[in-house]
């Protein structure tokens, strides 16, 4: 900064002295400044040692208006500045001892300042501070408080001092420069804080205070200079770091929610996410992601807080089960949150003590219930063992009660000479209860065998041959009596023979019934027939005719009695090269359906079957094509063909300046030569100084000229044209399908599944490697088949999903058809549909499967076996 100084012989010199006081940078404004009583100094440029002899030869330098400042560097050397150039100086009026030789810095220590103090930054300063190393004097036209404060802030080079200056002078001559300086310091401090935070970010204790500093400094810098790019970059960098922390918060919050959903430990994740959020908003209270996460974490915190409050209130009211229910979602956090653990411990202890009290009173059921509640709260070894013991006692009590009740019934039946009922009411008891009455069972066995044999004979006389449902049930009951009697008297050959004859009768009957249904056209009775063959095989497992019938009709049964679907896909487009696409879709659908939860049997279009499947999926390729729209442009550019040398204008300019400086030097030398004969020392000194100045200028310009090349090399270019090809590539795949039943009726459909894609490609061709405008060869012509293939994959995925969704609805349609046929009086057709439904749904206890089983039992006296097909 250039500060004007307007001193003359008659005008006192005004200046600002800058020094370091007890509280940092300080200044005094003064007038009448003299240095060792003089308004001049001596130049010591190029001199390292000064003695009495050469001191007097040092040129004097008056403190004229061209002098802007005088200062001492850290080593003590005194420097005077005029404009942009500085030179070494020493004070005048110095006395030397004999043979004394000193450095310029040592002579500067003998500087004595005098003048009147007008004002100072520190109170009570009335004497000029000594001219020590690092002290600086700035010459001014008149006292200037604003300039003094500016120079003080510039000397302090601190954020606080610049802020103090700008607070005092928000609109002054040096305000903008001050803002620039303050912004520089703010950004340095902010970037240092950012770097410190980044170096600690991966540690266990990131320096969030440093990141806060970076945020504040960026904000302060932006407020001072809204257009500052560096301030914007720092703000963006801080925001990027906050986004990374927000990602960590989201991960911790997700880990907490996952632990909550999976009922595993992980409560600490909520605390970590809360802590990180507080740190984030501590850096930037307006950080949008932080505010959003704060709300989400607050919701989770309030939820668990409300649960804890409810649980503790219920514990206080001795509503222990309600207390456990209140914190049920958070029970996995019991080891991490003491309040949850306390609620569970109290409820557990209550139920465990209640269980002990019930045991003491032999209230086994109450004891089991209390211990079950205790185990459900905390499955300790103590509670588990107590529950097992109580369950054993309850089972023993229940077994004894059931056995006693069965004995009473058995005795009553025996008194009425109903020996079959008297025996079976005991023999049909569960094993643990039957063991309590085994002696009584053995006593009843002889009478049971005789009565069962007689009852079997009576039933066979009444119901054999089998003519209908009542006869079938009667013969089955006779077989059951004989089978149990044979078990009790295994050596009784007569009983075995009679049992085997009844077995033959039932098996023959079921085979005959099966053949009746197998003879129905188009396999319309194969489902019922299969059940009859299974019944027949239960009574006579090794019949060849049963195996033959099953082998003969297995293919028809596998189609008719299962969820069989034939998949046919047709290509309705005119595109010749997509002929294989329909086959690909057929294979994809078949593979996709085979992975569903339903037991689907897929029949491909090329497969030959004796009968049509229950359903047919007919798909159509409605549209399948890529569209390429290219546009070509010829663009101009230039390329490098070589280089050539041209005169360097910078060298020419420097040469002119150098020659002019030499002329000035020669002129100054002539003036000096002309002045010397007159013997006027002052004029000679002035002329010598002019020669020195001219010599320095010439030397400087000479060095500048030597550093500049005389010529410079430029590129030689030529124009040429290259090709820009813009390719708009689009592709569309549209598919549709419908599912029909055996009668051809549509049961499910989706007429249009459409997938489209568009993309623009740019290709630059015929670009020369030597292009000088930055144009590069770019891009390749896109492969339309690959582009179409990507669209095909998406359409195929959507198609498979839609088909799966529709196939999932088929069992419900089969069930509806079974009900309709029964309402229409078609019992056999209804049975086939119910069997198809049972074979089309997973084995699980559902009301619909129970309905199908009940129908088969009520209408056909059949029990649906698990795993039937």
CATH number at residue 597: 3.30.160
Comparing CA positions, the residue from 474, 453, 451, 452 lying closest to residue 464 is 474
Domain count for the chain: 4
Residue 578: per-residue pLDDT: 60
Same domain, residue pair 642 and 655: no
First to last CA, the chain: 101
45 part of a folded domain: yes
Out of 804, 830, 852, a domain closes at 804
Alpha helices in 336-468 (DSSP H): 338-360, 364-377, 381-415, 419-427, 431-434, 438-463
Whole-number pLDDT of residue 866: 61
Give the domain extent around 853: 809-869
Q: Are residues 781 and 820 in the same domain?
A: no
Residues 585 and 570 in one domain: yes
Tokens of 249: 């918060």
- Matching residue, tokens 């999976």: 262
User: For residue 108, is it within any domain?
Assistant: yes
3-state DSSP percent of the chain in helix, strand and coil, to 5? 55, 20, 25
* Residue 268: predicted pLDDT: 95
* Interior/surface letters 97-118, b for 16+ CB within 10 angstroms, e for the rest: eeeeebbbbebbbebebebeeb
Residue 8 maps to a domain: no
Residue 253 domain-assigned (yes or no): no
Angle at CA of residue 445, ends 442 and 446, nearest 5°: 125
Query: Both 819 and 797 in a single domain?
Result: no
Same domain for 25 and 100, yes or no, is: yes
DSSP per position, 196-207: HHHHHTTSSS--
pLDDT along the chain (869 residues), means of 10: 46 93 94 94 93 91 91 95 91 90 94 94 91 95 93 94 94 92 94 94 93 95 93 94 95 95 94 95 94 95 95 94 94 93 94 93 92 92 93 92 94 93 93 93 93 93 92 93 92 93 93 92 90 92 91 90 89 69 84 81 86 90 86 89 84 87 87 82 85 86 83 85 90 90 88 87 88 86 84 88 90 92 93 91 90 92 69
Print burial letters for 731-753: b (CB count within 10 Å at least 16), e (below 16).
bbbbbbbbbbbeeeeebbebeeb
The β-bridge partners of 625 are: 732
Helices (H), 263-337: 268-283, 288-316, 320-326
DSSP 38: B
CA R_g for the chain: 54
Same domain assignment for residues 765 and 818: no
DSSP 727: E
The DSSP symbol for 489 reads: -
Could you tell me the strand order of the sheet in which 615-647 lies? 600-604, 563-571, 615-647, 711-741, 746-765
Has residue 606 been placed in a domain?
A: yes
User: Which of 525, 739, 503, 514 is CA-nearest to residue 619?
Assistant: 739
Asked, as a colleague might, if the bond just before 465 is cis with ω within 30 of 0, I would say yes
Q: Is residue 412 part of a domain?
A: no
**CB distance 71 to 135 below 8 Å:** yes
92 and 35 inside one domain: yes
Beta bridge partners, 566, equal 603, 616
Residue 859 shares a structural domain with residue 782: no
pLDDT at 717: 86
- Check residue 1 and give its pLDDT: 43
For residues 837 and 713, membership in a common domain is answered with: no
The three-state secondary structure class of 763 is strand
Assess whether 626 and 773 both reside in one domain.
Answer: yes
621 and 728, same domain (yes or no): yes
| Sole residue written with tokens 């996995």 | 332
Q: What is the pLDDT of residue 405?
A: 96
Residue at which a domain ends, from 115, 142, 169: 142
Please provide the size of the chain in residues: 869
Of the residues 776, 804, 832, the one at which a domain ends: 804
Beta carbons within 8 Å of 78's beta carbon, 6+ residues apart: 41, 70, 71, 72, 88, 89, 90, 91, 104, 105, 108, 111
Choose among 440, 437, 388: nearest CA to 414: 440
C-alpha separations of 649 from 365, 643, 652, 705, 711 in Å? 111, 18, 5, 12, 8
Looking at the fold, whether 823 and 772 belong to one and the same domain comes out as no
Confirm whether 848 is domain-assigned.
Answer: yes
pLDDT confidence of residue 494: 93
Pairing of strands 67-72, 78-82: antiparallel
Assigned domain for 597 exists: yes
């Amino acid at each position: 900064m250039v500060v004007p100084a307007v001193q003359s012989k008659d005008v006192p010199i005004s200046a600002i002295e800058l020094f370091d006081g007890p509280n940092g940078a300080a200044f005094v404004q003064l007038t009448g400044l003299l240095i060792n009583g003089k308004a001049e100094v001596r130049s010591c440029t190029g001199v390292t040692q000064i003695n009495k002899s050469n001191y007097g030869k040092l040129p004097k330098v008056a403190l004229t208006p061209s002098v802007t400042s005088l200062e001492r560097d850290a080593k003590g050397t005194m420097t005077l500045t005029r404009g942009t150039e500085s030179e070494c100086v020493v004070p005048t009026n110095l006395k030397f001892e004999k043979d004394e030789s000193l450095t310029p810095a040592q002579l500067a220590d003998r500087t004595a300042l005098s003048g009147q103090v007008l004002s100072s930054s520190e109170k009570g300063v009335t004497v000029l501070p000594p001219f020590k190393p690092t002290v600086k004097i700035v010459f001014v036209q008149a006292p200037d408080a604003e300039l003094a404060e500016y120079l003080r802030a510039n000397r302090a080079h601190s954020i606080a001092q610049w802020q103090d200056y700008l607070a005092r002078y928000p609109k002054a001559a040096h305000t903008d420069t001050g803002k620039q300086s303050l912004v520089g310091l703010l950004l340095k401090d902010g970037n240092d804080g950012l770097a410190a935070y980044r170096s600690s970010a991966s540690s266990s204790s990131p320096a969030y205070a440093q990141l806060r500093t970076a945020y504040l400094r960026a904000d302060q810098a932006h407020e001072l200079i809204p257009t500052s790019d560096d301030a914007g970059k720092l703000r963006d960098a801080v925001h990027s770091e906050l986004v990374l922390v927000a990602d960590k918060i989201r991960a911790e919050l997700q880990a907490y929610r996952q632990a909550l959903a999976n009922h595993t430990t992980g409560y600490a994740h909520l605390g970590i996410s809360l802590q990180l959020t507080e740190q984030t908003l501590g850096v930037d209270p307006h950080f949008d992601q932080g505010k959003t996460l704060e709300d989400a974490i607050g919701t989770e915190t309030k939820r668990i807080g409300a649960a804890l409050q409810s649980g503790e209130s219920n514990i206080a009211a001795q509503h222990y089960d309600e207390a456990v229910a209140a914190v049920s979602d958070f029970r996995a956090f019991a080891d991490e949150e003491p309040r949850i653990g306390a609620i569970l411990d109290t409820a557990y202890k209550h139920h465990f003590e209640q269980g002990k009290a019930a045991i003491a009173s032999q209230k086994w059921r109450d004891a089991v219930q209390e211990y079950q509640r205790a185990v459900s709260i905390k499955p300790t070894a103590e509670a588990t063992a107590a529950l097992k013991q109580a369950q054993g006692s309850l089972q023993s009590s229940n077994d004894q009660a059931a056995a006693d009740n069965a004995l009473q019934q058995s005795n009553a039946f025996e008194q009425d000479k109903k020996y079959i009922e008297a025996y079976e009411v005991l023999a049909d008891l569960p094993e643990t209860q039957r063991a309590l009455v085994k002696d009584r069972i053995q006593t009843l066995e002889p009478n049971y065998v005789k009565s069962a044999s007689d009852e079997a004979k009576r039933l066979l006389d009444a119901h054999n041959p089998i003519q209908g449902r009542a006869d079938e049930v009667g013969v089955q009951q006779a077989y059951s009596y004989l089978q149990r009697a044979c078990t009790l008297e295994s050596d009784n050959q007569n009983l075995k023979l009679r049992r085997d004859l009844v077995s033959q009768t039932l098996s023959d009957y079921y085979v005959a019934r099966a053949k009746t249904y197998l003879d129905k056209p188009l396999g319309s009775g194969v489902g019922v027939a299969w059940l009859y063959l299974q019944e027949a095989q239960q009574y006579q497992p090794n019949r060849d005719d049963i195996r033959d019938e099953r082998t003969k009709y297995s293919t028809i049964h596998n189609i008719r009695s299962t969820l069989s679907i034939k998949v046919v896909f047709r290509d309705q487009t005119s595109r010749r090269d997509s002929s294989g696409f329909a086959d690909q879709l057929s294979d994809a659908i078949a593979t996709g359906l085979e992975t569903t939860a339903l037991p689907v049997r897929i029949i491909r279009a090329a497969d030959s079957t004796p009968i049509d499947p229950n359903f047919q999926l007919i798909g159509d390729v409605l549209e399948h094509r890529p569209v390429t729209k290219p546009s070509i442009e010829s663009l101009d550019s230039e390329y490098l063909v070589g280089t050539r040398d041209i005169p360097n204008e910078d060298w020419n300019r420097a040469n002119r300046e150098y020659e002019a400086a030499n002329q000035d030097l020669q002129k100054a030398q002539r003036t000096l030569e002309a002045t010397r004969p007159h013997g006027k020392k002052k004029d000679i000194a002035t002329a010598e100084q002019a020669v020195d100045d001219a010599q320095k200028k010439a030397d400087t310009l000479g060095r500048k000229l030597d550093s500049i090349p005389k010529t410079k090399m430029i590129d030689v270019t030529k124009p040429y044209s290259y090709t820009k090809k813009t390719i708009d590539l689009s592709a569309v795949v549209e598919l549709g399908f419908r599912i029909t039943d055996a009668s051809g009726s549509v049961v499910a459909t989706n007429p249009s599944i459409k997938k489209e894609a568009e993309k623009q490609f740019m290709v630059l061709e015929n670009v020369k490697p030597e292009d000088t405008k930055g144009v590069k060869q770019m891009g390749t012509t896109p492969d339309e088949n690959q582009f179409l293939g990507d669209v095909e994959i998406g359409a195929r995925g959507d198609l498979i999903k839609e088909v799966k969704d529709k196939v999932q609805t088929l069992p419900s349609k089969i069930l509806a058809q079974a009900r309709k046929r029964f309402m229409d009086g078609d019992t056999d057709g209804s049975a086939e549909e119910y069997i198809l439904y049972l074979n089309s749904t997973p084995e699980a206890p559902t009301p619909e499967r129970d309905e199908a089983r009940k129908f088969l039992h009520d209408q056909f006296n059949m029990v649906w076996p698990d795993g039937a097909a």
